[in-house]
């Protein structure tokens, strides 16, 4: 297969920036396929070429298969990288890309249908004898039937989108009384986010840890794994802190789970980067799902193993990457990632949109930042409010935790609220420090909203002085209530 000279990116934000950087390292030009709302973002400025594929609503742009394929062709690309989210796990998109004469940088449409569909994946795993959480994955999607199945499983039950991930279309049902409303809500959200209302049910494990294995199918079809990540710190079923490797696995458990991850990926004839997710409870593990794409949290794996997964994805799509079994990779040290969201932690995490007045990520050894916005960019209400990922590495887990706390304390984001205070509270909690947290960690120990700290008189004087500088001088009474700069202090 010929080498790519130009790759189209069917995504946005920090993942688009990550793909552009990998392409730059390989000497490949990029075409950013963006919506009208994403003009003047970091990825927009970095891409070799940009093509607008539609208005802000995702159904009319990032989820529009034809618009993405037409945009890639118009931009002169030979391949499309889907990133994560949007169409990254859509088999129809992978098929449309291939039919258009382009290369889909990811697994085949057949593999996505086999593993990316959560229901089909569980059927495949069942045949292979892999352990599964008790549940219902049938074709009957009538709400009344789903309620009966949930009652058979026994509450609490989780309802999930068959074609989804990332917590979208996922609801926790605690009793029959709330089942109808939550199932219908999950079906609507699944349709909106993934284009299919199909859902399935699982028994909710209330003391589980969320462990995942990074798998990779090389150019020849061999599947290997790049060890594990722990993602037990979740809020509303969405991960917010991830680490590699998990502090919860013995060597024997890690070996058995890694073998199971490779087994299911091999059954799905997997090529490229994917993730096999498990729930772990009482030293027993259960297959949760397979994500047939790059993960948001892939940097922590890259940090402990010294690999570049995006570069490997591109080389695999070109037919170049073949795993060398003599090259044994062993995790080194510990890495933690925190997702920085534009939200107000003092008001239950409501999204915080607006202009980023100033952004500063403190540099230093073992620190890595992936972000899609610079100062002067606007956080819009149209998409996921994640504005950056902060990743640290250190020799031990405890040092990595302390480094992450320092980095977050020194990071500066003016213009919108962020969840940084919330993240620092989590990292400082004894359960997290001990590594004994479960997926109910946030629910058990944290309220929806943090208590807002009171500013001291010195803090107020410093803020007033800085505000005057930003306003270009004058007295503090001149138009203080009407200045747009005043909103910047929401992010302190």
The residues assigned a catalytic role are 293
Contact 289, 313 (CB under 8 A): no
Half-sphere exposure of 83 (CA within 13 A, CB side): 24
Contact 89, 293 (CB under 8 A): yes
Kind of pairing between the strands at 103-104 and 79-81 = parallel
| CA distances (Å), origin 276, targets 102, 241, 245, 356, 434 | 27, 18, 15, 36, 25
Residue among 431, 409, 406, 432 nearest 420 (CA)? 409
Residue 101 is given by DSSP the state: T
3-state secondary structure of 137: coil
Q: How is residue 257 written in tokens?
A: 């789970």
Element of type H or E holding 276: strand 272-281
Query: Max CA-CA distance within the chain?
Result: 74
3-state secondary structure of 238: strand
Contact 156, 177 (CB under 8 A): no
Question: Residue 341, class by beta-carbon neighbours within 10 Å (0-12 exposed, 13-18 middle, 19+ buried)?
Answer: buried
Contact partners, residue 155, CB within 8 Å, separation at least 6: 173, 174, 175, 176, 204
Which residue pairs, CB below 8 angstroms and at least 24 apart, start in 318-327?
Answer: 318/1, 318/2, 318/3, 318/4, 319/1, 319/219, 320/219, 321/218, 321/219, 322/218, 322/219, 322/220, 322/222, 323/216, 323/218, 323/222, 323/224
Strand partners, 32: 9, 50
Rounded Cα distance between 359 and 377, Å, is: 10
According to the 3-state scheme, what is the secondary structure of 292-307? CCCCCCHHHHHHHHCC
The tokens 């909710």 sit on which residue?
A: 204
Q: How is residue 462 written in tokens?
A: 């410093």
The phi and psi torsions of 454 (rounded to 5 degrees) equal: -90, 135
Strand partners, 206: none
Phi-psi region of 161 (alpha: psi -120 to 50; beta: other; left: phi over 0): beta
């Amino acid at each position: 297969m010929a080498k790519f000279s130009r790759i189209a990116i069917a995504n946005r934000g920090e993942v688009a920036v990550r793909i552009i950087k990998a392409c730059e390292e390989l000497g490949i030009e990029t075409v950013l396929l963006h919506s009208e709302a994403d003009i003047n973002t970091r990825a927009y400025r970095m891409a070799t070429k940009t093509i607008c594929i539609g208005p802000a609503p995702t159904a009319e742009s990032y989820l529009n298969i034809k618009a993405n394929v037409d945009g890639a062709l118009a931009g002169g690309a030979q391949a499309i990288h889907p990133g994560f989210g949007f169409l990254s796990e859509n088999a129809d998109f992978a098929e449309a890309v291939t039919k258009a004469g382009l290369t889909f940088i990811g697994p085949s449409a057949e593999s996505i249908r086999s593993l990316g569909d959560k229901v089909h994946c569980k059927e495949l795993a069942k045949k292979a004898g892999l352990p599964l959480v008790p549940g219902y994955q049938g074709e009957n999607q009538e709400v009344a039937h789903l309620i009966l199945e949930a009652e058979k499983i026994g509450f609490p039950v989780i309802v999930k989108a068959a074609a989804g991930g990332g917590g979208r279309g996922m609801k926790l049902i605690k009793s029959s009384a709330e089942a109808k409303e939550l199932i219908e809500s999950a079906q609507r959200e699944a349709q909106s986010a993934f284009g299919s209302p199909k859902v399935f049910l699982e028994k909710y494990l209330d003391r589980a840890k969320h462990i995942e294995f990074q798998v990779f199918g090389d150019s020849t079809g061999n599947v290997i794994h790049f060890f594990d990540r722990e993602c037990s710190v979740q809020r509303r079923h969405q991960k917010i802190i991830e680490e590699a490797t998990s502090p919860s696995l013995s060597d024997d458990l890690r070996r058995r789970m890694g073998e199971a991850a490779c087994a299911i990926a091999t059954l799905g004839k997997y090529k490229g980067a994917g993730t096999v997710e498990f729930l772990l409870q009482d030293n027993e593990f259960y297959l949760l799902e397979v994500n047939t794409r790059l993960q948001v949290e892939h940097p922590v794996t890259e940090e402990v193993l010294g690999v570049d997964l995006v570069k490997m994805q591109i080389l695999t799509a070109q037919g170049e990457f073949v795993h060398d079994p003599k090259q044994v990779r062993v995790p080194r040290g510990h890495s933690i990632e925190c997702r920085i969201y534009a939200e107000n932690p003092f008001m239950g995490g409501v999204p915080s949109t607006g202009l980023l007045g100033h952004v500063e990520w403190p540099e230093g050894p073992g620190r890595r930042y992936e972000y899609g916005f610079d100062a002067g960019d606007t956080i819009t209400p149209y998409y996921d409010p994640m504005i950056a990922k902060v990743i640290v590495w250190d020799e031990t887990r405890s040092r990595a935790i302390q480094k992450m706390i320092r980095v977050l304390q020194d990071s500066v984001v003016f213009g919108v609220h962020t969840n940084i205070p919330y993240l620092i509270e989590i990292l400082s909690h004894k359960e997290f420090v001990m590594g004994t947290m479960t997926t109910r960690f946030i629910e058990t120990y944290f309220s929806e909203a943090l208590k807002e700290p009171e500013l001291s008189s010195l803090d107020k004087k410093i803020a007033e002085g800085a505000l005057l500088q930003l306003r270009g001088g004058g007295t503090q009474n001149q138009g203080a209530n009407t200045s747009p700069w005043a909103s910047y202090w929401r992010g302190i």
